[in-house]
Amino acid sequence: MAASGMAWDTGTGAVKTLDLRALPAPEPLVRALAAADALQPGQALEVLTPLLPTPLLDALDARGLRWRSEPCADGGTWVTILRPAQ
């Protein structure tokens, strides 16, 4: 579920960032899910999408991943994805 404004300390250092704004559909969804599926427990990922990616957010919920989203000044959306530590 979304957790706006919450700081996530993953303890794993740098968070990988993917800019998916220039890709045609459904490539942003495919790449974001592949990267999210590769996360190890406690790791996080940030993706920049051209709009609020509702199908991505639904898929993240179904996978048990945590996420938060923030709008960008250019109209895009940052989505931070976290695989909870077990």
**Both tokens of residue 40?**
């190890």
- How confident is the model at residue 7, as a pLDDT? 44
Q: Is residue 11 part of a domain?
A: no
Q: Is the dihedral of CA 15, 21, 27, 29 positive or negative?
A: positive
- How confident is the model at residue 13, as a pLDDT? 59
Question: Contact at 8 Å (CB) between 34 and 59?
Answer: no
**Both tokens of residue 37?**
């599926």
What's the rounded Cα separation, in Å, for the pair 6 and 13? 17
- Is the predicted pLDDT of residue 70 greater than 90, yes or no? yes
Q: Is residue 7 part of a domain?
A: no
- Count structural domains, the chain: 1
Range of the domain at 61: 16-82
pTM here?
A: 0.83
Q: Is residue 9 part of a domain?
A: no
Q: Is residue 4 part of a domain?
A: no
Q: Is residue 8 part of a domain?
A: no
What CATH number should be reported for the domain holding residue 73? 3.30.110.40
* Digit-coded pLDDT (tens) for 10-64: 455 578 999 999 999 999 999 999 999 999 999 999 999 999 999 999 999 999 9
What's the rounded Cα separation, in Å, for the pair 6 and 25? 29
